[in-house]
Amino acid sequence: MNRAAKPAIGSGLVTWAAVGLAVLLMLVMNVVPVGNNDVWILMKVGELIVDTGKIPDTVLFAFTTVRDNHFNAHEWLVSVIYHEFDLLLGLHRLMWVTGGFALLQFALCVVLAQRRAAGLGAALMMAMLAMMCANVRYVLRPELFALLFLAWLLLVLDRYRGERRWTTLLWLLPVAILWANCHGSFILAPAITCLFAFGEAMSATFAATGAWPQRLRAGWRAGLPYAAAALAMTAACAINPAGWALLKFPFQLQQSGTMRQLIKEWLPTFSPLFVVERAFWIFIAVLAATLALVVALRRYLNVTDGLLLAVFTVLALDRSRHIVWFGFIALYVCAGLVGHLTLERRRERGLRAAAACLALAATSACALLGNAAHGFFYEVPSNNFSPPLVAELADPKVAGNVLNSYELGGELIYRDWPRLKPSIDSRVDSYGDDYLLFSIQLLQNENLLNLFLEGNHVSYMLLLRRDFELGIRRMPSIRAHWHIRLTDGDIFLLERNEPLRADARPAAAH
């Protein structure tokens, strides 16, 4: 009796340790200060939507004529939600929102893995590895919602795969609608469903007996519900403020050659600038582990899972921003493979102990070295304004047009627009390739810069060290007529030696 009880008690302790340490890892890894420059624009756009009841359809905030460029506010719902979080919690507590998302995402991943018949130990390890793979981009961006929708999508598709009840597929419609109103990756929802349609059709065709017409009919019957669901989801994606026009957006975004070359998140995965990042090596480790498991258990790999893994591996190897999806697809595929194995209770306990060890090791590494983006609970690498700069820019006398680095435009807008108006912000897809290249050229061409400063009545320059040293620092005319008003070493605020006359200053927008 006692001997029988001891394993149960020990197993319970191991289980609680594995779960508790995994939860701790999610918090240590993801609860870091807000450090991405997109969130500022999102919260400001959300504020405007709440205050005016309208979704902005132009760039709006810039002082140049580019302000009239079309702005596709496809992330409008996230903007409103983040604005409300900002009002409710305050700026310095927003990092707990990221932690909440991480716990929810992690829980969905564990449920998904266990649904595919993986034990708790394997599910915990796979979910942790998937979250590590996504960690570099797991910040307050619309992708947080997209990743939740991905897990939801896979849960629904897998449930239908097992039960074959067509009513289950109806849950895909709210997934598609919400995804389309939150993030530009919404096209993945019908695309993944199409992969299921093709994969299940192929599997049924080859599994059926009889003549080829009979086999093809079996494949047709297996794939048709998924194909119909994908078509319905595509139509459902049009339920958004932009309507059918939104369906073109993901493809238009891919056509921006300049953005894909200059913006870090769009760099190729094997770019020299990305291969030195922790995120790259975490991805490589997860990829290697995934491929090793697939090779070892290849006899259990079905067509659908093979297609999913192949497509998302190609995407992840193409662009660094796509590695965020890979970990969750790998979890789905690997959990299905492991589900074919029969593990003794002793081995399952060993897997849970291994999960606890992985969580403890990863938590310790994050606490000592920072997460995948070098972030800690108390600080994160960012282009955020320092407190002295925030105070300086908050001075009501500091007003007018600002030539700025694109990364700094968002926070300037969030804090000080319309008293201060930027030349550009991080929505470079809306500003356009030509304007982005022009903004870079300004920092290197003294004559062009002076024409721009005078023609647009620019009162201030707000530049990252990178842009300040690109050419402006050495320009004789800038050295003669401008001075550094404030710098923290990373960001430079420059102003004219002689302020613009009051009649030459642009009027503040309301």
The answer to which of 426-430, 457-461, 492-496 has the lowest mean pLDDT is: 426-430
CA nearest to 148, candidates 111, 201, 114: 111
The residue whose two tokens read 């600002």 is: 402
| Residue 121, both tokens | 């130990």
pLDDT of 504 higher than 80: no
pLDDT band at residue 319, thresholds of 50, 70 and 90? very high
The tens digit of pLDDT for each residue in 29-87 reads 999 999 988 999 999 999 999 999 999 999 999 999 999 999 988 899 999 999 999 99
Q: Exposure of 71 by Cβ count < 10 A (0-12 exposed, 13-18 middle, 19+ buried)?
A: buried
Rounded mean pLDDT, 314-336 = 96
What span, in angstroms and rounded, lies between the C-alpha atoms of 272 and 274? 6
pLDDT band at residue 421, thresholds of 50, 70 and 90? very high
The residue whose two tokens read 């927003």 is: 94
pLDDT of 1 higher than 50: no
The residue whose two tokens read 């942790």 is: 128
The tens digit of pLDDT for each residue in 161-205 reads 999 999 999 999 999 999 999 999 999 999 999 999 999 999 999
- DSSP letters along 152-186, please? HHHHHHHHHHHH--GGGGGGHHHHHHHHHTT-GGG
**For 59, which DSSP code?**
-
Q: Provide the CA 248 distance to its chain's centre, in angstroms.
A: 20
Percent of all residues in the chain with a pLDDT value above 70, rounded to a whole number: 95
The tens digit of pLDDT for each residue in 258-295 reads 666 767 777 899 999 999 999 999 999 999 999 999 99
Q: Is 370 left (phi over 0), alpha (psi -120 to 50) or beta?
A: left
Structural domain boundaries of the chain?
2-34+94-369, 387-504
The secondary structure of 178-202, three-state, reads HHHCCCHHHHHHHHHHHHHHHHHHH
Contact 462, 405 (CB under 8 A): yes
Contact 335, 126 (CB under 8 A): yes
Within 10 A of 357 (CB to CB), how many other CB atoms are there?
14
| Cβ contacts of 415 within 8 Å, gap of 6 or more | 385, 390, 393, 394
Contact 328, 110 (CB under 8 A): no
Would you call 458 helix, strand, or coil by DSSP?
strand
pLDDT of 509 higher than 70: no
